[in-house]
Structure 1
Amino acid sequence: MTTSTIRLGTASPGTQATTAETLTQLEHIAWQAASKDIDILLLPEAYIGGYPRGTHFGCVIGSRSAEGRDEYLRYFQSAVDLGDTVGDGAGAGPAWVNRELPSDTVPGPDTGGDPNDIPNKRGDGTREELERIALETGVFIVTGLIEKTGGSMYCSVVYVCPTLGVIGKRRKVMPTGTERLVWAQGSPATLRAVSTIIRGVRINLAAAICWENYMPLVRQALYAQNINLYLAPTADGRDSWLSLLRTAAMEGRCFVLSSNMCVRNTPAPNGHAATPTNPDQADEPDGIAPDALPPARAGPHHRRSSCVTEEGFEIALPGAAPTPSPLSHEPHHRRRRLSVLDQDGNEIVLPCSPPSPTSSSSKPRVRRRSVLDDDGNEIALPCSPPSPTTTKPTTHPPPVPIKPTNFPKPTFTSRGGSSIVSPFGDVLAGPQWEDDTGLIYADVDFADCIRGRLDLDTAGSYSRNDSFKFAVQGLDLTPLPY
């Protein structure tokens, strides 16, 4: 890196079980970013508090369930309190950022009856924790979170500077689809960009959250403020998302940084893996879900339980000894017919020749010779009739090794897809698929944003602002300086 190069980084972590655990994970990621000299780190939409993928909170038109209300209560309790107000959906704005709001500490035994023991103490301490992490790691952190205030929840993003602390916050203007069931609409006034200076380079940055990026006027509101870093935290993990990021980068002649959670399927109480139910904001699970596999067969010929290792090998699990069938006089291990597994993991029983009239049940059964085709399937070869002078084979052919079958891969509720794109639409890093622990980053020269405006300045002369007038209620569109 040179003194004029800025390193942008992003990751695809999933929300943890509690806010405390998520903040601990966030701190670990920030220290990882610091060790790689990352200057600005973006984390996903709703990372703190959680994205309620796949739930409906017991709601249908005209009816709500008691269980759904309890689920909503738990989700509300997991949201964070940053100490801001509702306002008109924008909160208190600069008064909150500058800690000018009165303390919300309740007088009581814990404060000695004096609410001013902690000046301007507001919220649950999440803001202060984020500021501490940014200060200690030296990383400018932008993260999505679920914010609660005044009985409502907002899908928000905070900008946390290592030296100044929180310098801005915005709330999602348009929750998508059923997100509107639990998230309030934020004010467009929160689309205001913020600035930071790193190694003498001024960076004007602003965020559009998830499907706000599909709103052309939201994108234009960011371009008009002369941003050079466009942030897109999201819950959309489809392949098509990258094309939108490249469009925004080329439209705004800015670097685009996007982050989405990578969430592995985990067994639910019924033993089935969780799968996404909203294809518009969650990609389909990759591979075959456990409940899509053929059921085990009952009876004395059932297949033993097994599991699959990370390398794709099937391991048989110990089970109870089979009970001989009353209809057969042969031992169980000699009654099982040969079988192979196809590419989908299904067991296929191979045909067998009828027993010879002269054979005895006490004679050992000879396994037929076989070969493997290019797909790893075992094919039994025809066998020659036994020699009249031979009563039993003298030797057994050596067993033919069977290559591992391609078993279903682990499935994901969300595959991630975090990416970094240049002002010319080039993908500099990512998409980061199926990786919930790593970091991706790129060294960038912000002068490229000016180079790109040689022929395209969407918010300036190219916009024909002499003919087209653009305004946003409550938002100052005055361009930020370079």
Structure 2
Amino acid sequence: MPQKLTVAVAQARTRSDVPSTLAALKRITAQSASRGVQLILFPEAYLGGYPRTCDFGAAVGARAPHGREQFLQYFQSAVDLGDTPAGAGDDWVERKLPTAPGKNYRGDGTREFLEQVAQETGVFIATGLIEKAGGTLYCSMVFVDPSRGILGKRRKVMPTASERLVWGQGSASSLKAITTEINGVRLTIGGAICWENFMPLLRQSLYSQNVNLYLAPTADSRDTWLPLMRTIGGEGRTFVLSSNQCVRYNELPSWIKDNATPEDASADATRYISRGGSCIVGPLGEVLGGPIWEVCADDSLDASDDPNKELDGLVISEIDMEDCERGRLDLDVAGSYSRPDAFKFSVEGLDLNPPPF
């Protein structure tokens, strides 16, 4: 049976609040479904937002009151998926955690909304989001199957630079790959968020699980991002999907702009602070789609009330999953090429064997 799949990355931006962003996600997913897309990836921190340019009033040894107010706004913008601060793993996925009296689900309903959109459109959805659990925020990614609901969630294990001020560190156990089947196409899906992709051992943990679809939501819009995605595709003999937001300064939340530096406040408000760069790469490192720059799916949504109007800001490609196996002829960095007799690799709390179907 042909192992072909139509996939997409959405270059979209976080809206003013979670309900507006979820509504945009639903419209973009429905539009993608009308174009034959079976799986779609949204950017890092798409739900909740990536607080670009915000310093939260922090300096070494000092925190300003306005920064605490900014954190309050950011915390309230995050979504509650009903997980525990430590991460309950399979118990959360399988809904085994207790619920509050009178409720039949945990969290704020975001999980259930995503599952409903996936079911209604028939599209597998992966999206980045900012998740709150207890008093901590995590940069996370969820995998939502149209028929089975959420199959897994992972939290960024190493926030980069100032991200560490506002995000906690996720457990390496959440690097566990998930498996699913879409129209007879068998997928083993894993993901690394933004600069986690620069961590060689983290990448190896995904390769070891025989991932054939590698998802890389990001906030990195530099020209150097594409070479990394091409390296991962060729290194892991896997398809790579990377999605980034495309954002102008005047589209940032007001709680960031109201506390901007004089330099930022006086600069051109329509300038791009993230240009995008979303792309799709094949298992020999070849570029199959993108990168696209300074175009956003949300601009198309805002410009027309026609739900059938084709959106800019989407990168769509038909991929043949058997290309991953074709690529193993000469390279398998977690198998025959890895010299397991000479090199040993392990990850705390994570089974590196390929997950069963």
TM-score, length of structure 1 as denominator length = 0.67
Instruction: Give CA deviations for 1:80-107 in whole Å, capped at 9, x if unaligned.
Output: 00000012xxx1111110111110x2xx
Residue in structure 2 matched with residue 92 of structure 1 by the alignment: 88
Q: Tell me, in whole angstroms, the C-alpha distance in 2 between the residues paired with 1:63 and 1:199.
A: 55
Pairing 1:390-469 to 2, within 5 Å after superposition: 411-437=271-297, 438=312, 439-469=314-344
**Which one of the candidate residues 224, 232, 239 is aligned to 2:208?**
224
Asked if the contact 2:213/2:240 (under 8 Å) is kept, the reply is yes
Instruction: Give CA deviations for 1:99-149 in whole Å, capped at 9, x if unaligned.
Output: 11110x2xxxxxxxxx1x333x21000000000110001000000000000
CA shift in 2, pair 1:7/1:479, >3 Å: same
RMSD: 2.2
Residue in structure 2 matched with residue 246 of structure 1 by the alignment: 230
CA shift in 2, pair 1:266/1:441, >3 Å: same
Secondary structure at the aligned position of 2:40 is classed as strand
- Percent of paired sites with the same residue: 56
Q: Tell me, in whole angstroms, the C-alpha distance in 2 between the residues paired with 1:136 and 1:267.
A: 30
Q: Number of residues paired by the alignment? A: 337
Which residue identity does 2:279 align to in structure 1? Answer: S
Deviation at 1:411, TM superposition (A): 2.4
Residue in structure 1 matched with residue 350 of structure 2 by the alignment: 475
2:171 pairs with 1:187: yes
Q: Tell me, in whole angstroms, the C-alpha distance in 2 between the residues paired with 1:153 and 1:43.
A: 19
Q: Tell me, in whole angstroms, the C-alpha distance in 1 between the residues paired with 2:51 and 2:253.
A: 17
Structure showing greater radius of gyration is 1
CA shift in 2, pair 1:269/1:187, >3 Å: closer
Deviation at 1:481, TM superposition (A): 4.9
Secondary structure at the aligned position of 2:217 is classed as strand
Secondary structure at the aligned position of 2:157 is classed as coil
Residue in structure 1 matched with residue 71 of structure 2 by the alignment: 72
**Which one of the candidate residues 240, 250, 264 is aligned to 2:248?**
264
Q: Which has the higher helix share?
A: 2
Q: Tell me, in whole angstroms, the C-alpha distance in 2 between the residues paired with 1:189 and 1:77.
A: 27
Pairing 1:80-159 to 2, within 5 Å after superposition: 80-87=79-86, 91-103=87-99, 105=100, 115=101, 117-119=102-104, 121-159=105-143
2:61 pairs with 1:62: yes
Q: Tell me, in whole angstroms, the C-alpha distance in 2 between the residues paired with 1:248 and 1:459.
A: 13
Residue in structure 2 matched with residue 311 of structure 1 by the alignment: none
Instruction: Give CA deviations for 1:286-323 in whole Å, capped at 9, x if unaligned.
Output: xxx99579xxxxxxxxxxxxxxxxxxxxxxxxxxxxxx
Q: Tell me, in whole angstroms, the C-alpha distance in 1 between the residues paired with 2:154 and 2:266.
A: 41
Q: Tell me, in whole angstroms, the C-alpha distance in 1 between the residues paired with 2:207 and 2:149.
A: 25
Deviation at 1:7, TM superposition (A): 0.6
Secondary structure at the aligned position of 2:140 is classed as strand
Which residue identity does 1:433 align to in structure 2? Answer: W
TM-score, length of structure 2 as denominator length = 0.90
Secondary structure at the aligned position of 1:266 is classed as helix
Residue in structure 2 matched with residue 313 of structure 1 by the alignment: none
Pairing 1:13-24 to 2, within 5 Å after superposition: 13-24=12-23
Residue in structure 2 matched with residue 337 of structure 1 by the alignment: none
Which blocks of at least 5 consecutive residues in structure 2 are unaligned?
298-311
2:8 pairs with 1:12: no
Q: Tell me, in whole angstroms, the C-alpha distance in 2 between the residues paired with 1:175 and 1:100.
A: 29
Q: Tell me, in whole angstroms, the C-alpha distance in 2 between the residues paired with 1:415 and 1:447.
A: 33
Secondary structure at the aligned position of 1:462 is classed as coil
Secondary structure at the aligned position of 1:15 is classed as coil
Asked if the contact 2:233/2:283 (under 8 Å) is kept, the reply is yes
Secondary structure at the aligned position of 2:280 is classed as strand
